[in-house]
Amino acid sequence: MHQNIDLITTVATSLGLAMILGFIAVRLRVPPIVGYLLAGILLGPATPGFLADVGLARQLAEIGVMLLMFGVGLHFSLDDLLAVRKIAIPGAIAQMLAAAGLGMALALFWGWSLGAAVVFGLTLSVASTIVVLRALEASGTINSINGRIALGWLIVEDLVMILVLVLLPPLAPTMGGNAGPGAATGELGISLLITLGKAAAFVVCMVVAGRRLLPRLLWLVSRTGSRELFTLCVISTAVGVAYLASELFDVSFALGAFFAGMMMRESELSHRAAEQSLPLRDAFAVLFFVSVGMLFDPQILVEEPAKLLAILGVVMIGTPLVSMALVLAFRYPLNTALTVGASLAQIGEFSFILAGLGVALGLMSTQGQSLVVAAAILSIAANPLIFAAVRPALAWIRERSELARRLERSGDPLAELPMSTGENYLSGQVVLVGYGRVGRRIAEALIVHKVAFVVAEQNRERVEQLRKQGIPAVSGDAAEPAVLIQAHIAKAGMLIIATPDTVTFRAMAEIARTLNPGIEIIVRTHDEEEARLLTDEKVGKVFFGEQELAIAMTRHVLARRGIGA
């Protein structure tokens, strides 16, 4: 008895080959996404051998898009974005305009239509959040100010691209394409108003009703104690809201799923939701990247190598240079500029989604889509190497360029303590590096006990806020001697390193001891092995997060049991 098992065949071959090539990619020290895309190329119609069902793969990819965007929404933090808004919002918008302009100029030079040029330029203007998240985690900088700025920058890019996905279908006819399914027809102004009205109605529904109903639904299901029912609730919410958003409001699956994740983040159970839905989200994300690979024609590498090199020039040279210049213009240090530049030296999931939409709307050719996919594969593969080169490049530039050293700090009023700073903050004071969750609590205790302290913090917005509150603070990376010198480390009584970026601990301690041999140093870490190494190296008094938590909990338990402290 013959049965139609096309779906099973497509899923089995896609996941199996993606696993093999993803494993090989990881062993070669490149992101597994490269392996997934290559699996799609091998299974696609452009290569000989087994051919998967491309139609089914595209439908599975739609679910992958929903779950990808649901995950982005689930991790979207408005507070994190607001903390770096003064650089992330204008910086990201300016960088996207510059990259899109370069891409459009290339497309028009090649003789493409205006609509194709617009879509093509936009695909080159947005980096992959997934790739950057994993790169920052691997480099240990995800919780540093550099990591937060890079992620804030990417959040702004994602939000802009979601708006583009909403507006492109009604605008397509004016650029030589066709209106997408569900797009309003008629005059452009009326069409845009209808489209924006539907999107606004959806957003209002989610903000008013969704943020109340979805967290409550999650809480009610969690009370059943069923792990599988909880996971099912999370996944069905993501897919269901995305589907209803498309059917009722004519907005994209991506926007619907993104807002479902954002509203579910309001729940206290959002971390559990993210953790338990991760395996299924990852599986469908793999199918999404495999389906993108199926659309790629390797022949483009032979037919259009010059075009591909030009695109890579925009993505891996033009965009990073523009973003680095913007970061330096906002008076952030060179290490921040290099980190942001490295983060943006690739394109990813939104580029695929937008290129696919451009083809569906008749704006972009399949050749243009193949060029975008090729550029994405190569730039994603090279991104770990670019990230690995950030620190050596920083050391090399600083060592050889006096201009680079002066550029980081020249003319920055936040790089030096005000002349009106009291003497008690310049001698015998505590120098507190980092004003995050830990540093803020330490500062509050020092204020209560009237202990003079100076804050060294890389987040310029935070330094501005501290100065408004009357707290002495300097902006910059405390791993640089100039920053600690401005904090008057030479006469300080204590250095507290409260930043989560453990990579720079030793540099800070070495600078402090060079300038002040008798200074007492206190550091924090959440890694047991790191805590042991720092203790053995006698960097200072080391506080290991989990150990201190266990000590505090034990003291509380013993006190409640009437046992002496």
- Residue range 167-186: average pLDDT? 71
Q: What is the DSSP letter of 144?
A: S
Greatest pairwise CA separation for the chain in angstroms? 90
Which pLDDT value is given to residue 400? 72
Contact 295, 370 (CB under 8 A): yes
- Residue range 134-157: average pLDDT? 76
Domains of the chain: 68-286+313-364+388-395 (no CATH), 413-560 (3.40.50.720)
The DSSP string of 259-316 is HHHHHHTTSTTHHHHHHHHHHHHHHHHHHHHHHHHHT--THHHHH-HHHHHHHHHIII
- Residue range 488-498: average pLDDT? 91
The alpha carbon torsion through 147, 345, 28, 372 (nearest 10 deg) reads 130
Identity of residue 28: L
CA angle at residue 360 from 354 to 363, to 5 degrees?
Answer: 75
Contact 354, 164 (CB under 8 A): yes
Which pLDDT value is given to residue 411? 56
Which pLDDT value is given to residue 123? 94
> What distance in Å separates the CA atoms of residue 478 and residue 158, rounded to the nearest whole number?
31
| pLDDT, greater one: 312 or 388 | 312
Mean pLDDT of the chain: 83
> What distance in Å separates the CA atoms of residue 456 and residue 496, rounded to the nearest whole number?
10
Q: Note the pLDDT tens digit of each residue in 50-79.
A: 777 777 777 887 787 788 778 777 766 666
Nearest to 315 by CA among 383, 404, 409, 397: 383
Q: Which of 21-30, 71-80, 229-238, 456-465 has the lowest mean pLDDT?
A: 71-80
- Which helix (H) or strand (E) element contains residue 455? strand 453-457
Categorize the per-residue pLDDT at 143 as very low, low, confident or very high, splitting at 50, 70 and 90: low
> What distance in Å separates the CA atoms of residue 239 and residue 257, rounded to the nearest whole number?
7
> What distance in Å separates the CA atoms of residue 324 and residue 57, rounded to the nearest whole number?
38
Residue 48 has pLDDT above 60, yes or no: yes
Residue 185 has pLDDT above 60, yes or no: no
Categorize the per-residue pLDDT at 438 as very low, low, confident or very high, splitting at 50, 70 and 90: confident
- Residue range 506-524: average pLDDT? 89
- Residue range 249-271: average pLDDT? 79
Distances (CA, A) of 374 to 122, 154, 294, 300: 16, 21, 12, 8
Quick one: how far is CA 295 from the chain centroid?
Answer: 26
Contact 161, 354 (CB under 8 A): yes
> What distance in Å separates the CA atoms of residue 495 and residue 222, rounded to the nearest whole number?
45
What sign does the CA torsion over 245, 249, 253, 259 have? Answer: negative
Nearest to 373 by CA among 487, 294, 446, 447: 294
Strands 430-433 and 541-544: unpaired
The most confident of the ranges 169-178, 363-372, 379-388 is 363-372
Contact 317, 128 (CB under 8 A): no
Per the DSSP assignment, residues forming a β-bridge with 544 are 525
Cite the beta strand spans of 48-140 per DSSP E.
none
What's the chain's Rg over C-alpha atoms? 26
Which pLDDT value is given to residue 1? 43
User: What is the total residue count of the chain?
Assistant: 565
Residue 412 has pLDDT above 70, yes or no: no
| pLDDT, greater one: 519 or 48 | 519
Strands ordered across the beta sheet of 430-433:
473-475, 453-457, 430-433, 494-497, 520-525, 541-544
> What distance in Å separates the CA atoms of residue 380 and residue 30, rounded to the nearest whole number?
8
> What percent of the chain stands above pLDDT 90?
20
Q: Note the pLDDT tens digit of each residue in 280-322.
A: 888 888 888 888 788 778 888 888 899 999 999 999 999 999 9
- Which helix (H) or strand (E) element contains residue 474? strand 473-475
Residue 510 has pLDDT above 50, yes or no: yes
Distances (CA, A) of 214 to 39, 106, 234, 373, 546: 36, 45, 9, 36, 33
Nearest to 67 by CA among 247, 245, 288: 288
Whose tokens are 């939701």? That residue is: 273
